[in-house]
């Protein structure tokens, strides 16, 4: 089951369905209406053009059970889907949150203590390009998942999920340190989204030498220092990692937070900007670049 059939959830659903996996999507509004009447229309650089008849429903209407639940909503919507997660889970169900905000797995685990909640992160450029339409850009579709310290799941169960994803053309990896990997993703997507929104530019501008790229580097350095203070054991240089990832993106790509802000929609600015500043402050980490860009976006959105 895919909870939240936006850019990320829609791509996961589409790739799984293309390989013959049984998938159900949770969506709402006109997007749900289009999924029900026409199916999921997938535009993919990796898979091509497809229209996929995937069952879709609202969270309230779903009454079945799921073996694996991918939670792909925005961070501000987690509380609205915890009841669904509880109802749709069995003792063997595993829940894999794929969000941009650090600490999501443990957060959901506290809210549904009887359910096996893992943690995860994803590297992909995917977005809703119309009602019932999902676009995936570029050649990167990498998903990492694993058990955090408050959740025990057998290796066999993890490998079953990994196999399903890999058979669907998704580069799926079982993390040996999901706390590290989700922090690394948070660091990257925060720097990417905040830089793009601050200057109102696509990633092609971040890929060029100059002020925009320097801001991205400054944000990455500050989050790296926060990670060190939190005891995260990085396997390499976090700033270099972030630069490598951003340089691999389609030059026209933008983060979903930036798209939401441009449309006047609710965004992840709290989790990707203000939460990081709050965490840095709690750890005594100076973050002048984050504080500079935060001035454009007002105060904490809690």
pLDDT tens, position by position, 167-204: 999 999 999 999 999 999 999 999 999 999 999 999 99
Q: How many CB atoms lie within 10 A of CB 156?
A: 7
Span 271-294, average pLDDT: 95
Delineate the domains of the chain, giving CATH numbers in brackets.
Answer: 2-176 (3.40.50.720), 180-297 (1.10.1040.10)
Question: Can you give the pLDDT at residue 256?
Answer: 82
Mean pLDDT of the chain: 93
The predicted pLDDT at position 248 comes to 87
d(CA 3, CA 79): 12
Residue 3, pLDDT > 70, answer: yes
Q: How far is CA 213 from CA 99, 124, 221, 239, 242, in A?
A: 24, 20, 12, 12, 11
Selection from 238, 194, 197 nearest residue 216 by Cα: 194
Confidence of residue 260 (pLDDT cuts 50, 70, 90): confident
**Residue that has been written with the tokens 């925005």 in this structure:** 74
Residue 301 has a pLDDT of 52
Question: Over pLDDT 70: what percentage of the chain?
Answer: 99
Reported as a single tens digit per residue, the pLDDT across 223-233 is: 999 999 999 99
Residue 299 pLDDT more than 70?
no
Average pLDDT of span 119-140: 92
């Amino acid at each position: 089951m895919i909870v939240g059939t936006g850019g990320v959830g829609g791509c996961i659903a589409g790739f799984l369905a293309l390989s013959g996996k049984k998938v159900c999507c949770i969506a709402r509004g006109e997007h749900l209406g289009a999924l029900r009447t026409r199916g999921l229309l997938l535009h993919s650089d990796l898979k091509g053009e497809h229209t996929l008849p995937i069952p879709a429903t609202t969270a309230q209407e779903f009454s079945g059970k799921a073996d694996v639940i991918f939670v792909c909503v925005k961070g501000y919507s987690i509380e609205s889907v915890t009841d669904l997660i509880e109802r749709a889970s069995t003792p063997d169900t595993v829940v894999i949150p794929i969000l941009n905000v650090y600490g999501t797995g443990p957060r959901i685990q506290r809210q549904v203590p009887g359910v096996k909640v893992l943690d995860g992160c994803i590297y992909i450029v995917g977005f809703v390009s119309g009602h019932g339409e999902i676009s995936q850009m570029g050649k990167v579709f990498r998903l990492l998942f694993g058990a955090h310290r408050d959740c025990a799941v057998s290796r066999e169960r993890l490998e079953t999920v990994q196999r399903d994803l890999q058979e669907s053309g998704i580069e799926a990896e079982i993390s040996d340190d999901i706390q590290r990997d989700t922090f690394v993703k948070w660091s990257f997507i925060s720097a990417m989204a905040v830089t793009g929104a601050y200057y109102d530019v696509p990633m092609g501008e971040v890929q060029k030498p100059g002020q925009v790229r320097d801001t991205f580097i400054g944000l990455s350095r500050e989050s790296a220092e926060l990670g060190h203070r939190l005891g995260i054991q990085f396997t390499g240089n976090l700033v270099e990692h972030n630069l490598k990832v951003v340089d691999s993106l389609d030059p026209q790509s933008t983060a979903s937070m930036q798209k939401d802000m441009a449309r006047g929609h609710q965004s992840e600015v709290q989790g990707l900007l203000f939460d990081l500043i709050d965490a840095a402050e709690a750890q005594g980490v100076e973050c002048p670049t984050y504080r500079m860009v935060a001035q454009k976006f007002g105060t904490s959105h809690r």
